[in-house]
Amino acid sequence: MNLTVHITAKDYLKANYLHLRPRPFLKFLIFISAILVVIVLFISFAAFSSKGRSLVLPITMAVCVAYLPIFLFIILPFRSRKIYLQQKLMQLPCDFSFDESSMQAKSGVGTSSICWDMLHKWKENKDLILVYQSDAIFHMFPKRCFASESDINEFRSILIKHLGKAKP
């Protein structure tokens, strides 16, 4: 199987969101925790303001709660665009080929071959497939780069054969 991949800044941002996506059980715990934090926040605002106390603690809690959406929707997109613009290699088209022993990449600046046993896991969402060398290093495969849905399915079956099921 052969594939030409050209990563855009938008692809890189989507890859970062997929990379940060928690497992389903952790996602459930985060949701429950967020509800509890909001309830405690409202109770503390009510208790502190009705007794004439300082609102420093509830305001501090509110700022801490606001950090996650600020990070996800302001800081992460800004940082992703900045990193994408810095990494000139990521902006070049790259030809990938896959065989029984390895994944090969070739671009205008060089070639590489990575044996399947050196790859760690893979993740997928509606736009991308990420193939990991470690928990911190991944290769991005935007689904728009595949010619058809059958090519995506073929790529999935190659990954399942060599790396097992996709991680949530």
Render each residue's pLDDT in the chain as its tens digit; 168 residues.
Answer: 899 999 999 999 999 999 998 877 777 777 888 888 888 877 777 777 777 777 777 777 778 778 888 998 999 999 999 999 999 999 999 999 999 999 999 998 999 999 999 999 999 999 999 999 999 999 999 999 999 999 999 999 999 999 999 987
pTM greater than 0.85: no
* Structure tokens given for 146: 């595949």
Cα distances (Å, whole numbers) of residue 137 to 16, 30, 121, 134 = 11, 25, 11, 5
Burial of 41 (0-12, 13-18, 19+ CB in 10 A): middle
Q: Which of 99, 116, 89 is nearest to 5 (CA)?
A: 89
Q: How far apart are CA 98 and CA 105, in angstroms?
A: 9
Rg of the chain taking only CA atoms, in angstroms: 21
